[in-house]
Amino acid sequence: MTKQIGLWIDHKRAVILTLSDKEESMQEIQSGIDRHASLRGAIRSRSPYSAQYPKGDDQLDKQYDGYLQKFYEKLFNLLRGADAVLIIGPGEAKFELKKYLERQKSPIEIVAVESADKLTNRQIAAKIRLHFQEAGVRAN
């Protein structure tokens, strides 16, 4: 039984389509973080020569990176057991996830990482199905 997973990802959410011989399922995972700029939206100091933010910029960057790592770890756990994984998405999150999976030294085979614009769930499913159908035709 083969299990193929297509994943559309950005920093806010991921849509996972699991294709197997018998069934197809889709789920959406929210990252729980907003844009990077909103973490920097702390109240500025009123004194002219003090730090701009109560927390340093590097602390805010580390906090944001920590949220992303938890999100990628959650996705990694969902991708286990897949024979082939396709990662698509509009921004840098797809490459960050690929690097995360490579650092984990997981046996997950990433067949492709492709750019895709913001898509509806139906468009995501159609794109993933089409990719795996074309890959199946070429393999035979």
How high is the pLDDT of residue 89?
93
Q: Distance (Å, rounded) from C-alpha 28 to C-alpha 30? A: 7
Average pLDDT over residues 26-52: 66
How high is the pLDDT of residue 39?
45
- What amino acid occupies position 54? P
| CATH number 3.40.50.300 given to 3-139 | no
Which of the given ranges, 41-45, 84-88, 132-136, has the highest pLDDT on average? 84-88
How high is the pLDDT of residue 140?
43
User: How many Cβ atoms from other residues are within 10 Å of residue 15's Cβ?
Assistant: 21
DSSP letter for each residue of 53-120: SSS-HHHHHHHHHHHHHHHHHHHHHHHTT-SEEEEEESSSHHHHHHHHHHHTT----EEEEEE--S--
What is the pTM for the complete model shown? 0.78
User: How many Cβ atoms from other residues are within 10 Å of residue 16's Cβ?
Assistant: 21
Which tokens is 45 given?
């100091």
How high is the pLDDT of residue 97?
92
Q: What is the CA radius of gyration of the chain?
A: 18
